[in-house]
Each structure stands twice: as C-alpha cells, then as structure tokens.
Amino acid sequence: MAVSKTMISKRIPRKMDSYVVETSMAAKKQKAWQTVAQLVSGPRRNYSSVNLDRINSESEDGDTVIIVGKILGNGDLTKKLRICALYFSDSAINKIKQAKCEAIKLVDEIKKNGSAKGVKLIK
C-alpha cells in the first residue's frame, strides 16, 4: 500500500527518535527513496531484523544493501558489500569490519545517493 508524502509528514511528529525523524525527512525529499520513507515513518514493529547470513545469501559482490531496521550479527559475510541500515548490533559491526565491508547509516546513504542508484532493499 502506497503512502503519500502528506501521510508521511503526519507520521513524523509522532516519532521520538531524532535519527528516525532525520532519516524520514531525508527520504521523503527524494522521489527514489519514497519506499524507504514509507517504511521508516511507519510503526517500529514493521522494521526488519536481518542477520548477516541472510544479507550474504541475497546479495551479489559489490552491492549496496538497504535494511530498514537492525542488522544482527548471526552468520558471516563472504562478499564485499556496502550495508546501510537504521541500526547495527555490536557483533554485526565487528563482523562487517572483519569482512572489509562498509557499514553506513541509512540517512548518510540517502543524502549521498539521492537517486538510489545501485541499491537493493531487503525487507
């Protein structure tokens, strides 16, 4: 179900986490990031919790992977990836660094890559 920019704007003041508000605002401004804006502005119970092994199995070498939620540290990475998410567990950050991959905050990727070119959303 698509959510309009107006509805996203109505949802944002209810958010208590300033990082989620900043991410929602940045995603709402970019047309290519509308799906992410809808997910981030929605209820937190709809956020994904994704393990590293699932990311590794669903991506190709060199991909930029977007997760609206938290990255958990179960599993290992064997591919060189850029992983963008709202939150990362400590064990996931350590394993990502060991695999020589990049862990990037979602809002930074939205600001850097406004056209969402080359990103893969995993829900």
Can you give the pLDDT at residue 31? 92
CA distance 85 to 88: 7
What is the CATH number assigned to the segment(s) 5-122? 3.100.10.10
pLDDT above 70 for 3: yes
Place of tokens 């709402």: 28
CA distance 70 to 67: 7
Tens digits of residue pLDDT in 104-119? 999 999 999 999 999 9
DSSP state of 47: S
End-to-end CA gap in the chain: 15
Q: What angle do CA 105, 18, 109 make, to 5 degrees?
A: 20
Proportion of the chain in helix, strand, coil states, percent, rounded to 5? 50, 25, 30
Q: What is the mean pLDDT of residues 96-101?
A: 95
Scanning the chain, the segments in alpha helix (DSSP H) are: 5-11, 18-29, 34-41, 52-58, 90-98, 106-112
Three-state DSSP state, 87 = strand
Tens digits of residue pLDDT in 53-62? 999 999 999 9
Banded pLDDT at 1 (limits 50, 70, 90):
low
**Token pair in block for residue 68:** 């609206």
Q: Taking the complete model, does pTM exceed 0.95, yes or no?
A: no
Tens digits of residue pLDDT in 43-80? 999 999 999 999 999 999 999 999 999 999 999 999 99
Q: In the chain, where are the structural domains located?
A: 5-122
